[in-house]
Structure 1
Amino acid sequence: MRARLALIAGTVVLAVALPAPALAAPAFPSADGSCVDEAGVLGGLCDQITVILREDAAATSDEIAVAVVPTTGDASIETWSTGLFNDWGVGRAGADNGVLLVVAVDDRRVRLETGRGMAQRLDDATAGRIVDTVITPRFTADDYAAGVLDGLDEVRRTLGHTVEPGNALAELSTTDADSGSESWSVFGEEESDLLGTDADFEAAESESPSIAPVVLFALVAFGFLGLIGWATGRGRRGSGSDSGSSHAYHTGVATGVYQSYDSSSSSSSSSSSSSFGGGSSDGGGSSGSW
């Protein structure tokens, strides 16, 4: 019995003496421009955010970045943000003039991490004010994109960057919202006004029984014109009349309305460099939750 008790006691002492297993190092996302959104809450705005933040960096040498992730895992957002900041090297080497906004959506935690060289220009108290009064109120309302964009704009203003119509990040969310709310129209008229309602057609049919042949003739004529337009466009494409990277897309046979875009513009933002200048952080900044 004594031998068994001694064995148990020795096992307990050995378990206490052994060091606890170290937590696995947090996985950091790869830097892809100045914006990474692994939680999918920015609505595809990362490329545009990168363009504006890189323009700021070219004009001021300050580097600002944002990372939106589902969670920081077992690591606190403070530890994880400092690690990601130094892994990416946000800011210029030696100047350490970088700022990193980290949002952990599932953890409901956010942090503004600052480089060593930002102690005077963006101190911890000011970073805390931006987190508490600009960013988290938007997050509380589940408007993550607005919280990120408004927060980054406030950081830029605090650092003395120029934030004005045309380069304000906050404009990106309103532009996307407006672009999806426009109704399709031809020559400035709403579709329902141009084509008429069902009641209009029924009234016209009851008042004029002979309108059916006219409508049929019009449909045949429009179909014939559409066939000619299609054949002409096919012939032009075959002869190589569309040169360069500009492409025209036909949006209506009967209306003859065309919309064009430059395909080179759609890839210009994605070609921006994803490298930072080698800055570092010693844990400065401020955190918040919502």
Structure 2
Amino acid sequence: MKRFISIAFLLCLVVSLQAQEVYTTKNIPKVHLQDKTRYACNPAGILSAEACDDIDRMLYALEQQTGIETVVAVVPSIGQEDCFDFSHRLLNEWGVGKKKKNNGLVILLVTDQRCIQFYTGYGLEGDLPDA
């Protein structure tokens, strides 16, 4: 009986450690607002540091060449939220893009929903429409 209780306790502990943090637009780190040369938000470490550095370099070059501001958010879970709505709120709350041009782009990857969402500001819809 003691062995069964020990195994059950161990399983509960493992399951609780495996629980994913659910990210919201309020608790996801705003890396680009803190450092204008960082574009990849990867709080759970899903991407490697090298991949984040490569993304940061590419998106910095894109912004310098075209003025398009792009951020990438990679999270394990946003709960039951819709990816489209979440990325829309990220664009607005983070202020992605130039205000007068409204030329921001949010790329959201949510692993538990197997979702990749591109959300564009109105100024980019001619070049990169939502559809």
Give the structure-2-normalised TM-score.
0.69
The AA in structure 2 aligned to 1:117 is G
- Give unmatched runs, 5+ long, in structure 1: 1-24, 126-290
CA contact (8 A) 1:26 1:75 kept: no
Q: Are positions 1:46 and 2:52 aligned together?
A: yes
Q: 2:73 & 2:40 partners in 1: Cα distance?
A: 6
* Structure 1 residues 10-21: aligned runs within 5 Å: none
Residue among 90, 94, 103 paired with 2:100: 94
Q: Which has the higher contact order (CA 8 A, sep 6+)?
A: 1
Q: 1:120 & 1:34 partners in 2: Cα distance?
A: 23
Structure of greater Rg: 1
Q: 2:30 & 2:77 partners in 1: Cα distance?
A: 17
The AA in structure 1 aligned to 2:46 is V
Give the structure-1-normalised TM-score.
0.33
Change (3 A) 1:28 1:114: farther
Residue among 70, 76, 79 paired with 2:82: 76
CA contact (8 A) 1:28 1:84 kept: no
| Secondary structure of 2:56 counterpart | helix
Q: Deviations over 1:221-250 (max 9, x none)?
A: xxxxxxxxxxxxxxxxxxxxxxxxxxxxxx
Cα shift at 1:31: 2.2
The residue that corresponds to 1:29 in the other structure is 28
The residue that corresponds to 2:73 in the other structure is 67
| Secondary structure of 1:92 counterpart | coil
Identity of aligned residues (%): 32
| Secondary structure of 1:124 counterpart | coil
Q: Deviations over 1:258-290 (max 9, x none)?
A: xxxxxxxxxxxxxxxxxxxxxxxxxxxxxxxxx
CA contact (8 A) 1:97 1:117 kept: yes
Change (3 A) 1:78 1:95: same
Cα shift at 1:66: 0.5
| Secondary structure of 2:80 counterpart | coil
* Structure 1 residues 114-153: aligned runs within 5 Å: 114-125=120-131
Q: Are positions 1:55 and 2:64 aligned together?
A: no
Q: 1:53 & 1:110 partners in 2: Cα distance?
A: 17
Change (3 A) 1:54 1:34: same
Q: 2:54 & 2:112 partners in 1: Cα distance?
A: 25
CA contact (8 A) 2:46 2:75 kept: no
Count residues in correspondence. Answer: 101
- Give unmatched runs, 5+ long, in structure 2: 1-23, 32-37
Cα shift at 1:122: 0.7
The AA in structure 2 aligned to 1:29 is I
Q: 2:45 & 2:29 partners in 1: Cα distance?
A: 16
How large is the Cα RMSD of the aligned pairs?
Answer: 1.7
Change (3 A) 1:77 1:28: farther
Q: 1:79 & 1:51 partners in 2: Cα distance?
A: 27
Q: 2:79 & 2:46 partners in 1: Cα distance?
A: 19
